[in-house]
Amino acid sequence: LERMGDSWRALRLLGDAVAVYGSQQPSHALLVASNAICAICVGLAHRLRDAGDDHERAALLAQGRREGERALALLKQVRGDTYDVAVPGNLGELRLMQGDEQAARPLLDSALALAITRGLRSHVWRITASRADWLLATGLAGAAHDLVLGLIAEMGEQAPQQTLIRAHDTAYRACRALGRSGEALHHLEQAERLDRKRSIGQLRSQSQLFVTRTEADRAHAD
């Protein structure tokens, strides 16, 4: 559901699961669910930025923080595989979006260092984008600009779609802060083009799922 763009329903399903099973013994499944809620809340908060619904955005970030902190605590009790990179990376990004740069920095730094050590390239790219956001949030627009442009160049044709959208959005905001209007417009257009492409793919997936469900219901009825 999340990958098809139905983030709100994905969030409700995961929230229901955690509400039912969250008080049970620590488990890998609970770790995955809590981290997923945190990640989805981050994604929705990005989409709601400047959309005029600050109350909903703040509520999503608060929910994501609760689940992200739960996932971080679970890492000490259950095997997390790559989640010891993903969890602090997601939580650090979320804390940054809440405006707490001081809390975000050590989470992002630890996640990035571990991702580099393990050779987890997609995680390195995602967290580097968050580090550029951190630089921008702390008034270092020039450093943010240089970091994110280097990231875009490094990712090249292998860039994960969501990370590339975020990177261009950060570049857009950094260029605006630096007064580089033409460059800012370029990155804004790139981010919007990629976001439209993602939305089209999600709508196609939703359409295919609807057809599949309809066929299954018809076959069952027959």
pLDDT at 221: 59
- Model pLDDT for residues 128-158, shown as the tens digit of each residue: 999 999 999 999 999 999 999 999 999 999 9
pTM (two decimals)? 0.85
pLDDT over threshold 70, residue 214: no
CA gap 75, 201 in Å, rounded: 34
Summary mean pLDDT of the chain: 89
3-state helix, strand, coil in the chain (%, to 5): 85, 0, 15
Q: 46-91, pLDDT tens digit by residue?
A: 888 887 788 999 999 999 999 999 999 999 898 777 999 999 999 9
- What percent of the chain has pLDDT above 70? 90
Task: Look up residue 37 and give its two tokens.
Answer: 């809620």
Q: Which residue is associated with the tokens 């949030």?
A: 137
pLDDT confidence tier of residue 211, bands split at 50, 70 and 90: low
Q: In terms of C-beta density within 10 A (0-12 exposed, 13-18 middle, 19 or more buried), how is residue 69 classed?
A: middle
Could you give the percent of the chain with pLDDT greater than 90?
Answer: 69
What would the mean pLDDT of 115-121 be, rounded to a whole number? 95
Q: Is the pLDDT of residue 105 over 90?
A: yes
- What whole-number distance in Å separates Cα of residue 211 and Cα of residue 197? 21
